Structure 1
Amino acid sequence: MSSSLRVVLSAALPLLLSMSAGVVAQLLGTSLLGRQATAELAAFTLASAVLSPVTAAVAGGLRGMSPFVAACRDRPAEALAILKDARWLTLALGTAGAGVVLAVPLIARAGGAPEAAIAELGALPALLAGQVLLSAAGSGAGGMLIALRHSRKVLWSGLSGTAAQVVLLLTLVPAYGVQGTGVAMVTATAVQVVVANVLLLRLPELAGQSWWPGRPRGRRILRMARVGLPLSATLIVKFTVTGGVAYAAARTGVHQAAAHAILLSLDGLLGLAAFAAAQAVTPEVARASSPREARRLILAAVTVAAGGVVAGGVVVLVAGDVVLRLFTQDATVYSLALGLAPLLVAFSLVSNCAIVTAYGLVGLKRSSWQLAAVGTGYGLLALAMVPAATAWGLAGVWGAMIATAALIWALQITGFVRHSAALETATA
């Protein structure tokens, strides 16, 4: 095993275990809603289509701090000050995002979503807005632990939040439906945030440090924003268009919206290894001293990502009938999702390899290139999604998504090769 692959695996494995537990909880929620009522699952899909770009914007601001924290790996107190700067940035993003989440019913009606699904939203938008604010105020401790090479501690915070979410899902969803899902998500976020911050401040180098962000340092926040904001914008573009795709699917019917939601949930499961590898490799790329080292790290991370997708994809393709029946008892939804399983695997393979390459660009502090690549690809998808859905239904939508992911990955590879070459000049 190469040294680069060993470095990525050692950091990614605890993250993979933590995120696997989290995705299992999400799949449980989707399964409970799908087995209870198709309209409730469709309502949750509509809310998630808005929540995803909002939480992505907050997460982008925090992940933009990773290369700066990695540079302070030997000075944890300085790294903590960087985290506090990042939280000032995400508080502004989170406050605006919470307002957007509250407008889910209006956005759903404007998007032409079925009234049966909109009627089931209830208090869900308010609950999810609270989740956004909690995440904006307290997240980032996990990312700092990763950058400081304490990935194993992230596992405990993730498992704590997942345990709370699973218990509440099993307790609340059968009685309260989609509203119970919202309560479980807010509570899980609160538990995870508290545990991650406690574990961070229990590091010997940070003993006695305060949680309070303190006085904002304008210049340092601006420097970090130059990396974090393009990443936030990238994720907003991606998830906004992905949400638009969900609405395009919903316009063809409630069954299509539910099948699309199930496929997206499975994509999240297939991409676990990729997301873990991406988070693990970002600080390592930030500390790379040569183009060759940076490229080896990304190649190792892409290998981990592709391996995870292929392993999960085999299960979906071979035992798809068993897997999909965990999500729905509706024969129409089941048939739609089963027929699109090969397209799901193809999309997941390309898009998740692209995610890893994108995080390499973040490590190089070149997230603006990532924004340009994603803006190009998803801009074209935004133009194609409604005609594709009208002409070929969900198959057309997922075919367009595969083409988009391939284009974005090609552009990101080009950008990473170009910008990693600058490391040679900097070293010289």
Structure 2
Amino acid sequence: MALLRAAVPIFLAMVAGMAGSLVVTSVLGKHDTVTLAAFAVVSSVLSTASAAVQGALRGLGPFVAPFRDEPAAAVPVVRDARWLSLATGVLGALAVLCVPLLAGAGGVPGEVVREMGALPWFLAGYVLIFASTGGASTILVALGRNRDVLWPTLVFAIGLSGLTAALVPALGLTGVGVAWVVSGAAAALVAASLLRRALGRPIGQARPRPREIVKLAKVSIPLAGTVLVKFGVLGVVTFAASTTSTRDTAAHAVLSTLTGLIMLASLSVAQAAVPDVARAPDAAGARRAQRGAALLAVTGTLVVAGLLLGLGENVLVLFSDDLAVRERAFGLLPLMLLSAVLDAAQAVQGTGLTALKRSAASLLYFVIGYGPLVVAAVPVARTWGIDGLWTAMALANGLLVVLQGTGFHRHSAKVGAGAEVTQGRSGGDTRPGRR
């Protein structure tokens, strides 16, 4: 129950963030088709860049969790995290700024590229603002302040929704850019205030500590790489689906959207479990925490899957007015749900590896698990359609469950071992589990 209580605020924060983005899409869709198309192109890169930056920031959890009982002592780590997050934020911002150039070279219609206007600059600014928080949400979770995570996201979602609705009719995409930056800045201020209160002292400024930042990077950068691998592979799968019929392409888009909604439960549980795994004194404790997280994540996913199967047509009608698309999506729903359950299980195992500071191993497993899917996606789509694609994704996720689970079991065996050796040699009372 403790893990469930810890996961609920994170889940609600994810839902709030998704709701804000949906409002933006809805407002732009009613404003102008070209404007919506331009936003879709820019936001696709923004989503990838933001996910990579956020992935890197989530690697901070295991470094902060040991200071839960003395949060003020975590301030040096928080300062190091700021330097790392700003570095990753600059890379993400540069990627967003390059969207018009890449879109033009990639054959995106000229009117769509011109419609982007200043939006890439605004959204690049937002990425830098987000990075400036230094992973505040991850740090708050690591310190056991999960409820505080909800407030910055609510401020952002409400501000983004309200400002977009007010500014888009007059300013178009520029209004979206202004809304994103203003809302992001307000959320960053709230996050900074909550973080200072959680730490019990001002964070202040300090010179960068290269060695400590490198230690953070060894966990955070592979985690960002994992996010990029997954986004890249799913992009290839979407391209492969587009080589089939229009109906099947639309059905694939609906199923992909539902998968994203289903994954919110497992991702929130996985994040909430990081401090428990990171603070475990021994292998048994780490594995016990991980089993509890995996059970809760899979249970939550199964509950949502059951609701989707039960509601069926009533849910799908929210995503498409085309009866043929809905029927195709409904026929593939069981296969999609199987893939989602396996994805939920592997996500928890992968996050557990991050808690053990072994995110590089998780990145390797992703390359092994998703590599064949990249190669096979287009041939499978041409031979077996999206039925074959979703089967292939389920198999890839199943392979990842095995790889991530085996990897966690192997690496968790080392938890507390170093402290026990030290204690045996010195006879002192060292504290196991501190890394």
TM-score bucket (shorter structure): 0.7 to 0.9
Query: In the TM superposition, what whole-angstrom CA distance separates every residue of 1:146-166 from its partner, at most 9, and x where no partner exists?
Result: 111111111222222222233
CA RMSD of aligned residues (A): 3.1
Which residue, out of 83, 89, 92, partners 1:88? 83
**Maintained 8 Å contact 2:100/2:113:** yes
Residue 240 to residue 183, structure 1, CA distance change in 2 (3 Å): farther
2:57 is equivalent to residue 62 of structure 1: yes
Q: CA deviation at 1:390?
A: 3.0
SS of alignment partner, residue 196 of structure 1: helix
TM-score normalised by the chain length of structure 2: 0.85
Residue 17 to residue 270, structure 1, CA distance change in 2 (3 Å): same
Q: CA deviation at 1:42?
A: 6.1
Question: For residues 244-283 of structure 1, what are the structure 2 equivalents within 5 Å?
Answer: 244-250=236-242, 259-283=251-275
**How far, CA to CA, are the matches of 1:251 and 1:44 in structure 2?**
24
Query: What is the count of residue pairs matched by the alignment?
Result: 420
Match of 2:229 in 1: 237
Which residue, out of 351, 354, 368, partners 1:376? 368
Question: For residues 242-391 of structure 1, what are the structure 2 equivalents within 5 Å?
Answer: 242-250=234-242, 259-329=251-321, 334-391=326-383
Question: For residues 153-302 of structure 1, what are the structure 2 equivalents within 5 Å?
Answer: 153-171=148-166, 184-203=179-198, 205-207=199-201, 209-210=202-203, 213-250=205-242, 259-302=251-294
**How far, CA to CA, are the matches of 1:349 and 1:295 in structure 2?**
20
Query: In the TM superposition, what whole-angstrom CA distance separates every residue of 1:367-426 from its partner, at most 9, and x where no partner exists?
Result: 111011011122222212222333344333333222221111210001000011112533
Q: CA deviation at 1:362?
A: 0.7
Residue 296 to residue 34, structure 1, CA distance change in 2 (3 Å): farther
Paired AA for residue 206 in structure 1: G
More deviation, 187-196/167-176: 167-176
**Maintained 8 Å contact 1:302/1:356:** yes
**Maintained 8 Å contact 1:233/1:371:** yes
More deviation, 273-282/36-45: 36-45
Residue 161 to residue 138, structure 1, CA distance change in 2 (3 Å): same
**Maintained 8 Å contact 1:267/1:344:** yes
SS of alignment partner, residue 202 of structure 1: helix
**How far, CA to CA, are the matches of 2:186 and 2:86 in structure 1?**
19
TM-score normalised by the chain length of structure 1: 0.86
**Maintained 8 Å contact 1:50/1:243:** no
Note the residue ranges of structure 2 that are not aligned, 5 or more in a row.
421-435
More deviation, 41-50/61-70: 41-50
**Maintained 8 Å contact 2:28/2:35:** yes
Paired AA for residue 89 in structure 1: L
**How far, CA to CA, are the matches of 2:371 and 2:316 in structure 1?**
31
Query: In the TM superposition, what whole-angstrom CA distance separates every residue of 1:45-90 from its partner, at most 9, and x where no partner exists?
Result: 5444433332232123211211111122233233122122112112
Note the residue ranges of structure 1 that are not aligned, 5 or more in a row.
1-5
More deviation, 224-233/106-115: 106-115
Match of 2:428 in 1: none
Residue 16 to residue 382, structure 1, CA distance change in 2 (3 Å): same
**Maintained 8 Å contact 1:85/1:220:** yes
Which residue, out of 143, 149, 167, partners 1:148? 143
Q: CA deviation at 1:288?
A: 0.4
Query: In the TM superposition, what whole-angstrom CA distance separates every residue of 1:164-221 from its partner, at most 9, and x where no partner exists?
Result: 2332454456777776655544444333222111111134x523x14x5532111110
Match of 2:15 in 1: 20
Paired AA for residue 96 in structure 2: V
**How far, CA to CA, are the matches of 2:305 and 2:172 in structure 1?**
30
Paired AA for residue 283 in structure 1: P
Query: In the TM superposition, what whole-angstrom CA distance separates every residue of 1:312-338 from its partner, at most 9, and x where no partner exists?
Result: 222322323332333344556545544
Q: CA deviation at 1:126?
A: 3.6
**How far, CA to CA, are the matches of 2:290 and 2:212 in structure 1?**
28
SS of alignment partner, residue 215 of structure 1: coil
In our comparison, the structure showing a higher alpha carbon Rg is: 2
**How far, CA to CA, are the matches of 2:200 and 2:377 in structure 1?**
49
**How far, CA to CA, are the matches of 2:400 and 2:182 in structure 1?**
35
**How far, CA to CA, are the matches of 1:93 and 1:425 in structure 2?**
33
Residue 255 to residue 94, structure 1, CA distance change in 2 (3 Å): farther
**How far, CA to CA, are the matches of 2:404 and 2:65 in structure 1?**
22
Q: Which has the higher contact order (CA 8 A, sep 6+)?
A: 1
Paired AA for residue 90 in structure 2: T
Paired AA for residue 92 in structure 1: A
Query: In the TM superposition, what whole-angstrom CA distance separates every residue of 1:237-293 from its partner, at most 9, and x where no partner exists?
Result: 111222333344445577766554443332222112211111111121111012221
More deviation, 271-280/322-331: 322-331
Paired AA for residue 76 in structure 1: P
**How many percent of aligned residue pairs carry the same amino acid?**
44
